[in-house]
Structure 1
Amino acid sequence: MADQWEYLPEECWESVFVRLGHNRYLEAPSLVCKRFHSISNRLRSSLTVSDPTVLLHGGISGLIRRFQQLKRIDFVEFHGDADMLLREIGRSGLNLEVLNLSKQRRLPVQGMMELGAKVKTLRILICSRLCFLQDSDLIAIADSFPSLTELDISYPEQDSGSLTKIGSTEDDCAVSGSFPGTVSDVGIAMLSSKLQRLCRIDVSGNHFISDRSLLSLSSKCDFLREIAARDCSLISEIGIALAIRHNPHLISLSVNGSKIPSSASSSSSFTIESSLICARALCTLDFSQMIISDDLLTSIIQADLPLLKLALSHCRGFTFAGISSLLCKYCSLNYLDIEGAAFLTDQSMLELSQYLHDLNFINLNSCSNLSNSAFFLLAKTCPYLEEIRMERTGIGKEDCPSDFKKNFQLQNLKLSWNKYLSDETLQRIAMVCPNLRSLDISHCWGITGEGIGHIGMNCCEINMLRVNGCGGLSNLGMNFGFSKLEVLYASESGIDNEGLRMISQSCRRLLCLNLEGCLGVTAKGVREVVANSKGLKEISLKKCCNVASDVIAWMVFSRPSLRKLIPPSEFVSTEKQREFFLRHGCWVLDG
């Protein structure tokens, strides 16, 4: 039998490994033999580069030689010489398609230009939350990667108050369209003229771009189909209207918080209402945090869009009658976000439910008048629903309905900050959602081990659980469920040593454990869970003041799988200690 397995073609083994799913599941088979190691290396298509990653492997060159089929590289928590790494990637011959440079201090322009000269396959560039971003960086991006189809330059973090020229006011800059030291309309215009193949762009959080930028993008980029421009202070209704009119093939538009006057008070002929009739392909509309009138909802209805995704999170001005009419028209929606719609009640949800049959996602956060009836109604009447968000609502305030129906599609529930949520309600939820994979009940103070135990017993597929701030929760129940749990966030919960002992016995697949601020945890409990969780990769003991610091070294040496450890705040490591731990494969941060 052994010989038969040995001579299986590598294509068969590749098929087996592919079915394992995430890259982390390839680690174990890669240790079996050289052949499996070689196969798993070929299958890896993405790599996250951090400071410890580079230090552990003696530079990125070794990683590139090992994983020769990489298509995506993410620079996360990397604070070293990004220019040097990009040059190495450029010399590697990789057919890279996605590069994520987010959270860097500055854009590594020199390395990026050298990479662009040698790698012609890059299509997606993510530069979100850079500490500093300006127009010249946009030009460098366009010159380095002229074939980009997707670009994310959202939410740069520079202080706008210190970036205007001396002697120039913000109003002066707004008139000229140029803001020194920031991304401005001038930079977006030059970017638009150079990136002819651009299909998607996210410029959210760039406070010095205006309607001119939306006009440049929509008129110059013929293939542009998706625009995200959230939290852009100078974008108005006119800019949104012009973007719609100049690009009738736009399929996704996401804007929020812009200065949108009502149609009655607007003197301009360029209004969203009058422009929607030009839209032919809009599938996604996100108008979150705006003042949205029923007239605008009527215009969306009259436009007869192929609408599948609608987000009106924290919008004001529209009524139940307006949203009811819209949902009646677009009853094939699969994504609905109406967070903060205070007028919604259990009875109104009963009326809307007849239009929600095709939904697979709904966000009802902060709809405080909704309770158990609304939740179980959605589970019963929406057979394709995969995720429900009902944080800060009235779930648990009333008895559960007796006529419930199991929903085998529901996989993700976000129910945090529901002060009325009880063990009894959680037990019924466990019965209704047997295929649940992710549950967030953080800061639901009425939950105990009895209630969460029903989740573990009935929801056998659950792999992520968030119980942060659940002070009444000392364990995950007495039934030893959660056999597939991989991620447990339990910061500032009531989890104690006995709870950890039970977790160590039942959650053998645990990969990530956050115990920050758990005062009932000591070194004894930590030792038990670390000893039994053979795949554990990350653990946080920050603010666990009753955990003795001498357990840190034991954890690093006794659990080879451990990659990231946040010790108690009292633990202060020296540079030599950190390097020593890192050589054993674990990044020990400051608590």
Structure 2
Amino acid sequence: MEIQWENLPEECWELVFDRLGHNRHLEAPSLVCKRFLSISNLLRSSLTVSDPTVLLHGSTLGLLRRFHQLKRIDLVEFHGDSDRLLREVALSGLNLEVLNLSKQKRLPVQGMKELGAKVKTLRVLICSRLCFLQDSDLVAIADSFPSLEELDISNPEQDFGSFSELDYADDYAVSGSFPGSISDSGIANLSSKLQRLCRINVSGNHFISDRSLFSLSSNCAFLEEIMARDCSLISEIGIALAIHHNPQLISLSVNGSKISSAAATSSSSLTMESSFICARALGTLDFSLMIISDDLLNSIIQADLPLRRFGLSRCRGFTFAGISSLLCKYSSLNYLDIEGTAFLTDQSMSELSHHLHDVNIINLNSISNLTNSTFFLLVQTCPHLEEIRMENTSLGKEDGPSDLKKNSKLQTLKLSWNKCLTDETLKGISMVCPSVRSLDISHCWSTTGEGIGYIGMNCCEIKMLELSGCSSISNLGTSFGFSKLEVLHAAGSRFDDEGLRMMGHSSRWLLHLDLEGCLGVTAKGLKEVVTNCKGLKEVSLKKCCNVGSDVIAWMVFSRPSLRNLIPPCDIVSTEKQKDFFLRHGCWVHDC
């Protein structure tokens, strides 16, 4: 008996919609009928609330109640009354697990208190890059959400320019803190209340010291991950304390301090070298901008850690013998970051490659001696490799070897700022890396549309393409490749109307298009893209001086999927016009 599609139970439709993957793919079926809209609402687990969202829907509470399964809310793009918004979230009845308050001016303390009183399921709080963050905010966080497992309070953007160095010295000497900043006292208070804390990111808080790491490692019995980058008062003693007091620590990411190793070890018998013997679970160890000796690497070798991820980004002090011995010991590493290791050459990478059989991601950025030889060697000898980062190297020098076998695992290539990267090298890359989905060759000035054309012809899965600053590229070099392309960043390139016409016919799944500063773009080329790319959501035309004002309204009304549009700087929409565009679903930004 034939079953009509409209008679299928909702559980079946949920399974169908769930196979679509990302939330953005639910929009099209939700427009078919009210039933599909209801089903797609049930499947949405995350929501980004922005100023246009609130303006368009009026009642945020009514919007939230449409999505019964929401687990995550992001307010990164919201600049309104966040206290009021959190109160509405508290009244929605959602079992929220993740809240992102990043880039807010201040922490919405009152809203957090009301949310914490009603929502007991919050596990993750992200408060990165707040304009103002201080110790009292940490108290409010701990009191509102005592069951937090993950907390990000990294990189607050306080401006201390109005304080003199003398003020700083006096205030810090007396209180151990700085006005309007997070101090050791605040971290101690926080850590004493968040008993379930597993992961914390305190990077970029310049006025916390070793005492903060001691408080965290002493008070938080379940702490597994610490990120403390750009904390200039944290020394090697603090790092050693964190490892010594947390034998269950799984991940530690730190970078260089202004306190030398000699100064640190003179005041304590506990050193980084001796602390590793206490570690039991360290799977991720990520150093950057530090002086790392071969002796320290040897202590990591002797500790016999379950290491899977290791980083020495822009570190110095160690030798080829030291890193070679470590990689020999930990040959099952999945992730390796040795960015800026100046002594490495193609020959030395050939020797290290014998220990990289299991690596998934490797970062070789800013190593000027590495050429095509290293890239193609890794492609051939690392069968599990999924991502290569070789930015600002000598990639493009020397001819690539011929008759290479394909690597079907590689999906991400970050190759920007390689001034020697040529079309011929791109051709070789396209032949051996056919499964690449994301390619970044921004600011590679020797590359033209011909090289990009090879990528389009041979890399049929590519979805993201970064061409910003490629001053020799005016098109994608082909009218039949890039059929799955979703994101194109071409700011500062030579893209023109002909390039847009070709792309409009080949890349019909395009969602995001950045053409900032492309002077060859006019209304003619834009109409080709807007007409043919029926799912287009975001377009940036900033500094596109040859785009007329009349095309903005045409784009909004011709492409219903359009959600964000940045017009050329000389086109100023009135508030009435912006509201009119918003009622049609598109937020036209101020320049």
TM-score (norm 1): 0.97
Q: How does 1:533-548 map to 2 (within 5 A)?
A: 533-548=533-548
Deviation at 1:403, TM superposition (A): 4.0
Aligned position for 1:6: 6
Deviation at 1:160, TM superposition (A): 3.3
Aligned position for 2:223: 224
Whole-Å separation in 2 of the counterparts to 1:570 and 1:162 = 34
Deviation at 1:480, TM superposition (A): 1.4
Aligned position for 2:387: 387
Deviation at 1:265, TM superposition (A): 8.1
Whole-Å separation in 2 of the counterparts to 1:40 and 1:7 = 17
Aligned 8 A contact 2:479 2:502 in 1? no
Whole-Å separation in 2 of the counterparts to 1:352 and 1:210 = 36
Is the partner of 2:86 in helix, strand or coil? helix
Q: How does 1:55-94 map to 2 (within 5 A)?
A: 55-94=55-94
Aligned position for 1:520: 520
Instruction: Give CA deviations for 1:239-281 in whole Å, capped at 9, x if unaligned.
Output: 1111111111111111112235346983131210111111111
Aligned 8 A contact 1:260 1:290 in 2? no
Is the partner of 1:201 in helix, strand or coil? strand
Is the partner of 1:275 in helix, strand or coil? helix
Whole-Å separation in 2 of the counterparts to 1:385 and 1:278 = 32
Deviation at 1:575, TM superposition (A): 1.5
- AA aligned to 2:417 is W
Deviation at 1:350, TM superposition (A): 0.6
Question: Structure 2 vs 1, CA of residues 501 and 384 (structure 1 numbering), >3 Å: closer, same or farther?
Answer: same
Aligned position for 2:353: 353
Q: How does 1:130-149 map to 2 (within 5 A)?
A: 130-149=130-149
Instruction: Give CA deviations for 1:495-530 in whole Å, capped at 9, x if unaligned.
Output: 111100000000000000000111111111111111
Aligned position for 1:252: 251
Whole-Å separation in 1 of the counterparts to 2:581 and 2:5 = 38
Whole-Å separation in 2 of the counterparts to 1:55 and 1:16 = 32
Deviation at 1:75, TM superposition (A): 0.1
Aligned 8 A contact 1:237 1:259 in 2? no
Aligned position for 2:155: 155
Aligned position for 1:239: 238
Aligned 8 A contact 1:200 1:227 in 2? yes
Question: Structure 2 vs 1, CA of residues 172 and 64 (structure 1 numbering), >3 Å: closer, same or farther?
Answer: closer
Whole-Å separation in 2 of the counterparts to 1:7 and 1:163 = 69
Aligned position for 1:184: 183
Deviation at 1:154, TM superposition (A): 0.3
Aligned 8 A contact 2:255 2:289 in 1? yes
Which deviates more from structure 2 when the two are superposed, residues 153-162 or residues 206-215? 153-162
Is the partner of 2:288 in helix, strand or coil? coil
Aligned position for 1:201: 200
Aligned position for 1:170: 169
Aligned position for 1:573: 573
1:324 aligns to 2:324 (yes or no): yes
- AA aligned to 2:211 is R
Is the partner of 1:266 in helix, strand or coil? helix
Which deviates more from structure 2 when the two are superposed, residues 54-63 or residues 37-46? 54-63
Question: Structure 2 vs 1, CA of residues 162 and 212 (structure 1 numbering), >3 Å: closer, same or farther?
Answer: farther
Aligned 8 A contact 1:263 1:271 in 2? no
Aligned 8 A contact 1:237 1:270 in 2? no
Aligned 8 A contact 1:174 1:208 in 2? no
Alignment RMSD (CA, Å): 1.6
Whole-Å separation in 2 of the counterparts to 1:3 and 1:163 = 74
Aligned 8 A contact 2:171 2:178 in 1? no
Whole-Å separation in 2 of the counterparts to 1:283 and 1:213 = 22
Aligned 8 A contact 2:72 2:97 in 1? yes
Q: How does 1:426-505 map to 2 (within 5 A)?
A: 426-505=426-505
Question: Structure 2 vs 1, CA of residues 265 and 52 (structure 1 numbering), >3 Å: closer, same or farther?
Answer: closer
Aligned 8 A contact 1:490 1:515 in 2? yes
Is the partner of 2:399 in helix, strand or coil? coil
Structure 2: which 5+ runs fail to align? none
Aligned position for 2:557: 557
Aligned 8 A contact 1:262 1:293 in 2? no
Aligned 8 A contact 2:479 2:503 in 1? no
Q: How does 1:35-74 map to 2 (within 5 A)?
A: 35-74=35-74
Question: Structure 2 vs 1, CA of residues 579 and 479 (structure 1 numbering), >3 Å: closer, same or farther?
Answer: closer
Question: Structure 2 vs 1, CA of residues 449 and 168 (structure 1 numbering), >3 Å: closer, same or farther?
Answer: closer
Deviation at 1:446, TM superposition (A): 1.4
Deviation at 1:52, TM superposition (A): 0.3
Aligned 8 A contact 1:457 1:479 in 2? no
Is the partner of 1:553 in helix, strand or coil? helix
Which deviates more from structure 2 when the two are superposed, residues 477-486 or residues 210-219? 477-486
Whole-Å separation in 2 of the counterparts to 1:260 and 1:461 = 48
Deviation at 1:59, TM superposition (A): 2.6
Is the partner of 2:27 in helix, strand or coil? helix
Whole-Å separation in 2 of the counterparts to 1:121 and 1:259 = 40
Whole-Å separation in 2 of the counterparts to 1:78 and 1:564 = 14
- AA aligned to 1:177 is G
Whole-Å separation in 2 of the counterparts to 1:231 and 1:490 = 32
Whole-Å separation in 2 of the counterparts to 1:3 and 1:279 = 61
- AA aligned to 1:502 is M
- AA aligned to 2:218 is S
Aligned position for 1:343: 343
Aligned 8 A contact 1:87 1:111 in 2? yes
How high is the sequence identity, in percent, across the aligned residues? 78
Deviation at 1:572, TM superposition (A): 1.3
Question: Structure 2 vs 1, CA of residues 210 and 264 (structure 1 numbering), >3 Å: closer, same or farther?
Answer: closer
Deviation at 1:62, TM superposition (A): 2.2
- AA aligned to 1:68 is H
Whole-Å separation in 2 of the counterparts to 1:296 and 1:16 = 53
Deviation at 1:379, TM superposition (A): 0.6
Instruction: Give CA deviations for 1:525-559 in whole Å, capped at 9, x if unaligned.
Output: 11111111111000011111111122111111111
Is the partner of 1:254 in helix, strand or coil? strand
Deviation at 1:4, TM superposition (A): 3.2
- AA aligned to 1:243 is A
Aligned 8 A contact 2:332 2:359 in 1? yes
1:129 aligns to 2:129 (yes or no): yes
Whole-Å separation in 2 of the counterparts to 1:495 and 1:462 = 19
Whole-Å separation in 2 of the counterparts to 1:495 and 1:61 = 43
- AA aligned to 2:346 is D
Is the partner of 1:491 in helix, strand or coil? coil
Aligned 8 A contact 1:385 1:409 in 2? yes
Aligned 8 A contact 1:510 1:536 in 2? yes
Instruction: Give CA deviations for 1:433-455 in whole Å, capped at 9, x if unaligned.
Output: 11110000111111111111111
Aligned 8 A contact 2:168 2:178 in 1? no
Whole-Å separation in 1 of the counterparts to 2:64 and 2:161 = 42
Aligned 8 A contact 2:100 2:126 in 1? yes
- AA aligned to 1:233 is S
Is the partner of 1:286 in helix, strand or coil? strand
Is the partner of 1:531 in helix, strand or coil? helix
Question: Structure 2 vs 1, CA of residues 250 and 171 (structure 1 numbering), >3 Å: closer, same or farther?
Answer: farther
Whole-Å separation in 2 of the counterparts to 1:359 and 1:180 = 45
Question: Structure 2 vs 1, CA of residues 452 and 7 (structure 1 numbering), >3 Å: closer, same or farther?
Answer: same
Instruction: Give CA deviations for 1:111-130 in whole Å, capped at 9, x if unaligned.
Output: 00000000000000000000
Which deviates more from structure 2 when the two are superposed, residues 569-578 or residues 484-493? 569-578
